[in-house]
Amino acid sequence: MIAPDLHFVPRRTLVVGPIDVRFALRPGDRPLVAAGDTLVPGSRILDRVRDARLVEVRGGSVPDDARPGDRWSPSAGSGIPLRRGSGGPIGELLFEVGGQWRMAAGEHSEPVDTPIAGVVRDVRPGVGIGVRAEGRVIGGVEALGEPTRGVLALGAEPGEGGGPGVVLRPGSLDIGLAGTILVVGSRVDAEALTRARAMGLRGVVVAGLAGKERRDFLASEARQRASLHRLPPFAVLVLEGAMRRRIASPIAEIFSALAGREVAIVIDPPALVFDEPTVLLPTPQPDLVRVRAGEQAGREGRWGGLAGLRRFADGSFLEAGWVLFDGAGTIAIPLADLESFG
């Protein structure tokens, strides 16, 4: 039974229903799907131009009814435009200036597959492809890299409360993890991420990612995109932010229940998507609370009731609640620094 005064604590929803996922379309990219199409994991949804450049279309070769986003081939000779989504040379009309059209074109393209099942909601050239994803979702605060899919695996070292490992070190990676999305715990460094991608992992789920590791990983991703021989899609899903803390035990328990099953990481919005209707997800204890900020950030305990207006170390007076921590007694924590789970 939920304590009547626990509703003063912000509640965090662990798993939500279907969401709308967007796959970015850059200028020159060619969408291969249309609104209403049904997708399965692995379906090709677009061709991405790797070296898009701005090209000026010769005057008079573009018909009057042309619109931005239309496919166009300046090498066609006859000046016949290509229908949207049709084959042919890659080129997308962008805008008209003084009677001259500018087009995004490139010689090299690469296919992009969807890691999720769903239905295409809309296709907007130069903006994105909207897909209503099937299954359930665990949200994060940020996702880096490219949408990917793999078998969920847990870190080798158990963390507090049965959660995944605390830190992922490069030396702890094994070739047997190829094709998996690895849950690593509190933090990970850029070297471990680079090694994980090179060894064939499809993604990493981590509680926090520091600014330096984030910049180093993005720089590594840029170099990888520029290379001639690209590796399979790889993504990093950050659940909490930049601070170092363990994954909340209710989320860790869900990951444990999903271990060995296929999941996907999407970038917009940042989330882990899974379609496993037969898996019974664990339910957190109704009085479980977690400290999300302050000196006790990351710790979990039991709700002990309202503590009223209390003065804290910085001299501020805040409404607080009692939290019962194992081995540390009962401590008053500001209500705004707490979260419960549902």
Tens of pLDDT along 290-328? 998 888 888 999 999 999 999 988 888 999 999 999 887
Q: Do 213 and 86 lie in a common domain? A: no
Determine, yes or no, domain membership for 250.
yes
| pTM across the whole model | 0.85
Domain that holds residue 293: 4-11+283-341
Q: Do 184 and 78 lie in a common domain? A: no
Q: Do 143 and 255 lie in a common domain? A: yes
- Contacts (Cβ under 8 Å, ≥6 apart) of 310: 317, 318, 319, 320, 332
* 129 touches 43 (CB < 8 A): no
pLDDT of residue 161: 40
pLDDT of residue 242: 81
Determine, yes or no, domain membership for 204.
yes
Determine, yes or no, domain membership for 162.
yes
pLDDT of residue 195: 87
148-154/180-185 β-pairing: parallel
* 144 touches 214 (CB < 8 A): yes
Q: Do 50 and 111 lie in a common domain? A: yes
Of 69, 101, 129, the domain-final residue: 129
Q: Do 287 and 335 lie in a common domain? A: yes
Q: How confident is the model at residue 33 (pLDDT cuts 50, 70, 90)?
A: very high
- Report CA 279 to chain centroid distance, whole Å: 22
CATH of the domain at 154: 3.50.30.10
Q: Do 142 and 105 lie in a common domain? A: no
Q: Do 114 and 145 lie in a common domain? A: no
Determine, yes or no, domain membership for 319.
yes
Q: Do 76 and 148 lie in a common domain? A: no
pLDDT of residue 140: 94
Q: Do 184 and 226 lie in a common domain? A: yes
Q: Do 85 and 110 lie in a common domain? A: yes
Percent of the chain with pLDDT over 90: 45
148 pLDDT above the threshold of 90: yes
pLDDT of residue 92: 81
Determine, yes or no, domain membership for 170.
yes
- Contacts (Cβ under 8 Å, ≥6 apart) of 140: 205, 237, 238, 239, 270, 271, 272
Of 237, 252, 274, the domain-final residue: 274
Mean pLDDT of 158-186: 68
Q: Which three-class secondary structure state does DSSP give residue 147?
A: coil
Mean pLDDT of 211-230: 81
CATH of the domain at 293: 2.30.30
- Report CA 242 to chain centroid distance, whole Å: 15
Of 73, 99, 129, the domain-final residue: 129
The predicted-structure confidence for 241-294, as pLDDT tens digits, reads as follows 887 788 999 999 999 999 999 999 999 999 999 999 888 999 999 899 999 888
Q: How confident is the model at residue 119 (pLDDT cuts 50, 70, 90)?
A: very high
Determine, yes or no, domain membership for 74.
yes
Q: How many domains does the chain have?
A: 3
Alpha-helical runs (H) found in the chain: 190-198, 211-226, 249-258
